[in-house]
Structure 1
Amino acid sequence: MNKEHYYLLLADDDEDDCLFFKEALDEITIGTTLSMVHDGVQLMNYLKTNISNLPDVLFLDLNMPRKNGLECLDEIKNDEELKALPIIIFSTSLDGEIVDKLYQKDASFYIRKPGEFSKLKNVIEKALTIASENNFKQPERANFILQP
């Protein structure tokens, strides 16, 4: 899926994280268009009402109100119209058991949110580059967690 421009959807309830993400996209070399939702219920409503225009990639936070990222991942992967959507988990936590569960549930990659802006830019660009080179297919487990 090597493209010159990607339509991204960010599902994250933290306003500061959303702002940093948007600012990072403005500074990377890959062209993007970003939409945002701020909780799991809003995410699922957005996806189901935009079936004919799904994003190229969903960046999904795990800790969201109303419906968390793991619940959303389950729902997406169990929906025939949505299950092919590439999902990059984008979360502050890095619990090995949860990461294993996310891998088993077919998330594309896992990114631990970096605290530094330059690292955020690097890891987003790296995620889009590596994922697109592999047609957004899930890598081996050893390469599932992307570092800045």
Structure 2
Amino acid sequence: MNDKLTIFYADDDPDDQDFFKIIVDLISEKYEVMTHMDGLQLLDALENPPPSPYLVFLDINMPRMNGIEVLKKVRQSEKYGNLPIIIFSTSKDGSVIQETMELGANYYVPKSAGFKELKKSIEHSLQINWETFVPDSNTFLYKDN
């Protein structure tokens, strides 16, 4: 029996997907990463379990259906309305960050160019207790200390 926690990661960049998988494997063996090339693939996977995700990492800039559109759809879903969603994007635009928070994302992690920083931000995200975490304007955005 597979008792790993499944993470869905939607990003149209295969290199970003590979780095993400490598980093999660380095952090812990308790996670399994399922990647999706765009928002439509992710939504299809959500609607056709198994597996069902413990957590979703979502890029914003993707073809066919972007991360903002996916976030809106998931938050309207009765089944996945409370699923923890982390926006994982290169965008550091304050209005985009604010919009994703207002639309119900749980956390926002700006993608770092460096492997070490990227690992640190993903590791931090995986250490959050998503059952009790309540985002607000001070805790929503990951900040590298």
TM (norm. structure 1) is: 0.89
Residues 53/27 of structure 1: CA separation in 2 closer, same or farther (3 Å cut): closer
State the Cα distance separating 1:106 from its structure 2 match: 1.2
Equivalences for residues 70-85 of structure 1 within 5 A: 70-85=68-83
Query: Could you tell me which amino acid in structure 1 is paired with residue 20 of structure 2?
Result: F
Partner-residue secondary structure (3-state), 2:135? coil
Matched, 1:116 2:114: yes
Residue 21 of structure 2 corresponds to 22
Letter in structure 2 aligned against 1:45: D
Q: CA deviation at 1:136?
A: 5.6
Counterpart of 2:9 in 1: which secondary structure? strand
Deviation of the 1:139 alpha carbon:
1.9
Higher relative contact order (CA 8 A, sep 6+): 1
Unaligned runs of 5+ in 1: none
CA distance in 2, matches of 1:104, 1:44: 20
Query: Moved runs in structure 1, 4+ residues, more than 4 A?
Result: none
**Count of matched residue positions in the alignment of Structure 1 and Structure 2:** 142
Q: What is the root-mean-square deviation of aligned Cα atoms in Å?
A: 1.7
Question: Is contact 1:109-1:138 (8 Å) kept?
Answer: no
Superposition map of 1:1-148 within 5 A: 5-29=4-28, 31-50=30-49, 53-130=51-128, 132=129, 134-135=130-131, 137-148=133-144
- Larger helix share, 1 or 2: 1
Work out the CA distance in 1 between the residues paired with 2:4 and 2:142.
Answer: 21
Amino acid at match of 2:16: D
